[in-house]
Amino acid sequence: MVSSRNIRLALALLVVTAVIGIVAAIFLNGSKPAPSEPVSPQTPRNVDLALRDARFTEVRNGATVWTIVAERAEYIKEGEVANLSGIRMLFVKRPGTGNITVTAERGTYSTKSRNVTLRGTVHMTTDSGIVFDTETLDYHAATSRFVTNDSVTFRQQRMTLTARGMDLDVDGQVVRFHSAVDAIVKRR
């Protein structure tokens, strides 16, 4: 016959095992990292607002001067700068000036100064057939000028040239190349 002492021993063993199991379960559960909140992908910590297909427009005297469409725009609250990627900037046709379209991989837009920086495969085309390529280009809103100190390739009608440094006056529709101008004019 199984003595009552053994039964009590078995029961005690059972209880202890159960307690250990419960404690282990709690402990295991406790150490699992809390499931991370669903943060939008690639949103850096200092970005307050991230937009997709963002659109910026510069209006002067009631007329649109240019429009920027960016595949992605990230805003930082303190700064007044938006970091853009997948940029397309279009200058609207006005009397005396044709359309100008500029695309670039990334850049910034300052809501205060209205200046734009463009970086990475910067490509510009104009109505009158100018085609222009460089790696870095800055737009100065106050003077409506595009400026770079980088090497550039430029094509206009029969002329193709390379140079270092360029300054394009959007209003006056005049472009100046600063140095090392090497051009060829030939029938296409």
For residue 91, state whether it binds other proteins (rule: CB under 8 A).
Answer: no
- Please state the closest distance from residue 79 (CB atom) to other proteins, in A: 34
What residue type is 15 in one-letter code? Answer: V
Stretch that binds other proteins, among 38-46, 61-69, 76-84, 177-185 (CB under 8 A): 177-185
Q: How far apart are CA 102 and CA 136, in angstroms?
A: 12
Task: Please list, in sequence order, all residues whose beta carbon lies within 8 angstroms of the beta carbon of residue 93, skipping any fewer than 6 positions away.
Answer: 99, 127
What residue type is 121 in one-letter code? Answer: T
Of 8, 55, 60, 176, the residue at the interface with other proteins (CB under 8 A) is: 176
The overall longest dimension of the chain from CA atoms, in Å, is 115
C-alpha 10, offset from chain centre: 68
Residues 107-126 close enough to bind other proteins by CB under 8 A: 126
Stretch that binds other proteins, among 30-38, 82-90, 112-120, 150-158 (CB under 8 A): 150-158
Q: Which residues pair with 72 in a beta bridge?
A: 52, 85
Question: Which 3 state secondary structure label does DSSP give 83?
Answer: strand
For residue 186, state whether it binds other proteins (rule: CB under 8 A).
Answer: yes
For residue 156, state whether it binds other proteins (rule: CB under 8 A).
Answer: yes
Stretch that binds other proteins, among 38-46, 111-119, 134-142, 149-157 (CB under 8 A): 149-157
Q: How far apart are CA 184 and CA 156, in angstroms?
A: 11
DSSP code string of 15-65 = HHHHHHHHHHHHHHHHHSPPPPP-PPTT--TT-SEEEEEEEEEEEETTEEE
Of 130, 137, 147, 153, the residue at the interface with other proteins (CB under 8 A) is: 130
- Please state the closest distance from residue 127 (CB atom) to other proteins, in A: 8
When the beta carbons of 8 and 176 are compared against other proteins, the nearer one is: 176
Contact residues toward other proteins (CB under 8 A) are: 97-98, 126, 128-130, 154, 156-159, 161, 163, 173-188
